Structure 1
Amino acid sequence: MSVGRDAELPRPRRAAGSGHYTSLDIALLAGVSQSTVSRALNGSRSVGTATRQRIETIARELDYHVDLRARHLRTQQTGALTLLMFADPALGGGGLNPFFLAMIAGITEAANKRGYDLIVSLQQLSDDWHGDYLRSRKSDGLILLGYGDYQRLQRTLRELASHDTRFVRWGVVQADQPGLSVGCDNREGCRRATAHLLALGRRRIAFLGEHSSRSPEFRDRYLGYGDAVRAAGLRVDPRLCINARLNELHAGAGAVARLLATAVPFDAVVAASDQIAISAMGSLQRAGIRVPEDVAVVGFDDLPLGALSSPSLTTVRQDPMLAGERLVATLVAQIGGGRSDSVLIPPQLIVRESCGAGALSPSPDAAATRRTARR
């Protein structure tokens, strides 16, 4: 049966005495089971896209709405989700990663679409936040943004899992991880960024970012950088790999200072975040090094500030609205008892001015300035 704006649905019976259509009516019209209708309208990813869209269309045509109060009473649920963000004072501006701020809109919209209230909480990493959450029972599930040291976080995640807590976090997707996560394909994103620089003729590419097991996103970005360098028949020069942590406000400037102090030539920088990249660009320019003529720069995240920097920043985009949608969908599927898996979001390379057109020859003055800066 074709259902659309111009198609008139045959009207099924209404529930006796209710005056409203039921999920059973929708199931009969869609040719599926009542449980499939319930999963589809609750956002479960276990229902195929075409089936879900057909069910949603029929529900709109019948002006059917899920009785949230009845559902919550029946399932003994609160009808709320908790979004827990971690503050790091070293970041400034309230201690929040700016990328997480962009993600809030996607999470809020996705929760509202599924009939859930959203409780937003800001915590310090040192607080007993997991104990507070387990005791509060204020919501049906937990979304985690940010975590500091990943090795330390794993212990807490295992504790949450041991209490059958429904939770999902933004971060790397690993086979042996506690619980579920939604994350960007960091390795592929940084591989694309580095390959783009190599295609422009850049050959001495530095990487700025931490790449230890404490920071698995940055580690994956470093691995993607190495993949592209080796695929071009080059070797990764460890002298061009400078540690820079996201939770250090001026990490990019400090990394550039250490890089220049090595006196190792370089013509491009891949930064593990936009914050590091923007800070690095400022430091390069203050040293008399032109971006992109002398050194091309690429970041990661696609923060709004990157498009406004001078020059505008080439970066790898993590879609914050899609990320928010996937986080909520994954958590709601857990709450509903359906199948739920971790999700890997594909990255997108956004090319702007900081890469330029290729490996341009620096002027004699710029080259001399650069040599002086290294000394």
Structure 2
Amino acid sequence: MRKEFTALSLRDTVIETRSLPRRDTLQRKKIRRFWRKSLHSIKDIAKLAKVSPSTVANVIHGRRDRVSGETFEKVRRILEEQRYVSNMGARLMASRGSCLIALVLAYQNERRTSIVQDPFVSSVIAAVETEVQRKGYFLMLYSNPDMEECRKMALAWNVEGVIVLGCKRQGYYTLREQLDVPIVTIDTCFQEGDRDFVNVGLCDYEGGKEMTSYLLQRGHRRIGFLSREEGRDHFDPQFIDSARYLGYLAAYEEWGQRPEECWALDLSRNPKRRREQFMKLQQKNFFGCTALFLTSDLLALEFLGFCRDRGISVPDELSIAGFDGIREGERYRPALTTVCQDMREKGTRAVRELLRLLRRERERELPRRDIRLPVCIMERETVEDRGGNPYFGEEPGPSKKSAFA
């Protein structure tokens, strides 16, 4: 009885072939013959359809305006029957470009795990990959904070455009001076007088202000602000957390109050050092704070785990709020109250902006284009509503020294 073969992936076919007994050579030959028959050139398809190779190429690339409807369907049907796989090398040569878009992850990563495992980063990567593929390009992922190495990569692979996630302002200008391809940044903090850039960012200032106001409205008189960059200046404009901190201060100002300096704490990138900071913070009774606002959901979830280990009840004893809106925050118990952003929209928008630059034939002079996506409060289970007036019931005492100093 003749055995029917269905289309298999190359990997599955190789595994199936290797698992066969050596004596079963007939089965091996059938599998190899199946794959040989499934590989055709455009000329082979043209002969079968009795059309020109250019007509087949037009059908492959979806150019319906150049082929009659009847011929288009006829060739398409033959392509499916013959399991045609396009020759990507020929496509790249015909398009006179590499069709490659590079996504550079420029984060300073001191963790043992890959930065790709970060839920925020992985969500942006997924969105970029989906949009790049939908537009007919290919994505190259490259993780390196060194802009010189990024330049070498872009030149070696002849990429048509670059999207940079997590680089500082100066790093962008260094890369732009050395590459003659469009570059779009994600979450880079540019200054007021900067020009020649396209950045897709977030309303970080508004997010910091909205969450602080949300906590104040729920009667939290003392709100701690925990950020990700140890040793940074809270007002340094090149850090995203600085914008969120300014929003935090603005919310207090609107309520006619001023937070103490010791409530703003910078956390180490090192997990072991960070846990020591958490313990020291607990020993100081959180400086009397009833709520803590952490500038990323990952930090907030890590702190929630610390609270669970130390027997601190959230939100009964201490309220916690995060920033980003990653899925893990929704799944955690108690579910994390956070400032939510659309991470997929951030990646999708970056690709569209890059392709817009490509269509403008790589103009050297770029307009100042700083896109700020909106944020919203996602209310869940980690913030207690204490009610009452959010103003301090006592006069602020002398500024205490930070436990992390």
TM (norm. structure 2) is: 0.64
Match status 1:233 vs 2:256: yes
Cα distance in 1, alignment partners of residues 387 and 274 from structure 2:
22
Aligned to 1:257: 279
Give the unaligned 5+ runs of structure 2.
Answer: 1-54, 67-87, 389-402
Q: Which shows bigger deviation, 303-312 or 280-289?
A: 280-289
Measured against aligned partners, the alpha-carbon deviations of 1:159-180 in whole angstroms (never above 9, x if no partner) come to 3222333111211453316632
Match status 1:170 vs 2:186: yes
Cα distance in 1, alignment partners of residues 349 and 308 from structure 2:
39
Match status 1:105 vs 2:126: yes
| 1:197 counterpart (212, 215, 219) | 215
Paired positions, count: 295
* Contact 2:115-2:121 within 8 A present in 1 as well: no
Match status 1:208 vs 2:223: no
| 2:198 counterpart (180, 202, 206) | 180
Aligned to 2:97: 77
Aligned to 1:131: 151
* Contact 1:173-1:182 within 8 A present in 2 as well: no
Match status 1:306 vs 2:329: yes
- Alignment CA distance shift 1:178-1:90 (3 Å): farther
The alignment partner of 1:297 has SS state of: strand
Query: How far apart are residue 357 of structure 1 and its match?
Result: 3.3
* Contact 2:189-2:238 within 8 A present in 1 as well: no
Give the unaligned 5+ runs of structure 1.
Answer: 1-16, 24-67, 361-373
- Alignment CA distance shift 1:252-1:223 (3 Å): farther
Query: How far apart are residue 265 of structure 1 and its match?
Result: 0.6
Q: Which shows bigger deviation, 173-182 or 217-226?
A: 173-182
The alignment partner of 1:355 has SS state of: coil
Largest Rg, 1 or 2? 2
Cα distance in 2, alignment partners of residues 84 and 216 from structure 1:
18
- Alignment CA distance shift 1:305-1:215 (3 Å): farther
Identity of aligned residues (%): 23
* Contact 1:208-1:252 within 8 A present in 2 as well: no
Question: Which amino acid in the other structure matches residue 383 of structure 2?
Answer: C
Query: How far apart are residue 284 of structure 1 and its match?
Result: 3.2
The alignment partner of 2:172 has SS state of: helix
Aligned to 2:242: 219
Cα distance in 2, alignment partners of residues 99 and 207 from structure 1:
20
Cα distance in 1, alignment partners of residues 336 and 272 from structure 2:
17
Query: How far apart are residue 292 of structure 1 and its match?
Result: 0.7
Aligned to 1:267: 290
- Structure 1 outlier segments of 4+, above 6 Å: 68-75
Cα distance in 2, alignment partners of residues 205 and 266 from structure 1:
5
* Contact 2:189-2:239 within 8 A present in 1 as well: no
Aligned to 1:242: 265
TM (norm. structure 1) is: 0.69
